[in-house]
Structure 1
Amino acid sequence: MKIALVGYGKMGKAIETIVEAQGDQIVARLEEKPTKKNINEADVAIEFSTPQTAFDNVVACLELGIPVVCGTTAWLDRLPEVEKICSHVNGAFIYASNYSLGVNLFFEINKRIAQLMKKYPDYTISLEEIHHTEKKDAPSGTAITLAEEIIPIYHMDGWKLSSDVSSSNQLAIEAKREKDVPGTHTVLYNSEVDQIEIKHIAHSRKGFASGALVAAKWLVGKKGIFTMKDVLGL
């Protein structure tokens, strides 16, 4: 499989290491907008760039007929536009806030526990995420996904960073930045007598990178708009 890395930062380099070990081929390492000339006839593009460039990168790949796996966060106000363009060009596209296979299982666990805990109003629910100091967005896309799975179950009025919460019916997310933390996400249920937590701790970027590569291999040859639930059969 010939892969174009669109965005060649820490995630791009982590994906490159796994690709080379598995015998696939990186045909482009781009820090600029993909074009017919620089995409080098890739079978699939894996996009981890910046919130400012992700939309243009994804659209360029779709218009070139290249399936796209996108993991850039904090640009999702334009996701409906990408989905419309993907359908118009009969392309293939996956977006996920986190490609780790463990995190995607964690998403499913999160929903199940929220459904269970909703019956017990003595517990107050909140989220905490910790990432490295170079992460550009807060809260993380993964924390937002966790929150958006909980909010409809609890009939809450959306989420806010813990410093901005103005209502008891808003889900508080505390975002911490610490050196060399790939990603830790915790959902907390706290009462006067005890606390219940579910937590996912990433030990390295390898889990994110390997999941993105699994998604890329799955996407080749398909048409449509997909999520990691489709990739994993969840």
Structure 2
Amino acid sequence: MDLKGKSCIVTGSASGIGKAIARRYIADGANVAIADLRLDAARATAEELTAEGPGTAIGVEMDVTDEDAVNAGVAEVVDTWGGVDVLVSNAGIQIVHPVQDFPFAEWKKMLAIHLDGAFLTSKACLPHMYKAGSGSVIFMGSVHSKEASPLKSAYVTAKHGLLGLARVIAKEGAAHGVRSNVICPGFVKTPLVERQIPEQARDLGISEKEVVEKMMLGGTVDKEFTTVEDVAEIAHLFAAFPTNALTGQSMIVSHGWFME
């Protein structure tokens, strides 16, 4: 199973998990669009990863909550490489508040980036995959697609929703050779998670050390963070798997924090 010559879009991939997935795909010979809100960062990452090879990358500006921007970005990828074989909907943010204090505007922003982004990018890519008779749609879920934590109502709601969307796409796409799956990481040591540590310490009235050891890693089997490379390996498996035997599924990568 390899991705040599495949055309891939990874949203939110100028850094963090998305960049690790793009790097893994490019190392396997894929062509990857670094789709990010920040065009300068997307282009810088594309240049860096292309130098590593053997695949290539381009930087694409994309606000995943803007349908016109998504369609334009996907069209640029199709014009460059002739189609889209793999979509990784990875762009995301985190905002934490107790439910009673959660500003509605921030609730809508969270759901727009995570759920609207997954919907709009899928909607734009699926016609090209259907035309080719194959493709893989991958959503970046979370252990919070299966579990809940205090202060994360919008995030938990969005990540649960991705499971449903992926399953519908799996059923609709099967006749066209298109698969859809969800990756559910535990806590990954990225800038997004690092920003959560002082926020949760403040909101919960505990130390940052307690946030890490109890709130984040307390349920793992080894008190270890999941790595971006761990997640990238699962993203490669979902992208390269050759048949509908692996579709409509979710895979948890969490050092045993959540098991099913």
Q: TM-score range by the shorter chain?
A: 0.3 to 0.5
TM-score by length of 2: 0.37
User: Which structure ranks higher in relative contact order (CA pairs < 8 Å, sequence separation ≥ 6)?
Assistant: 1
Higher strand residue share: 1
Q: Based on CA coordinates, which of the two structures has the bigger radius of gyration?
A: 1
Higher helix residue share: 2
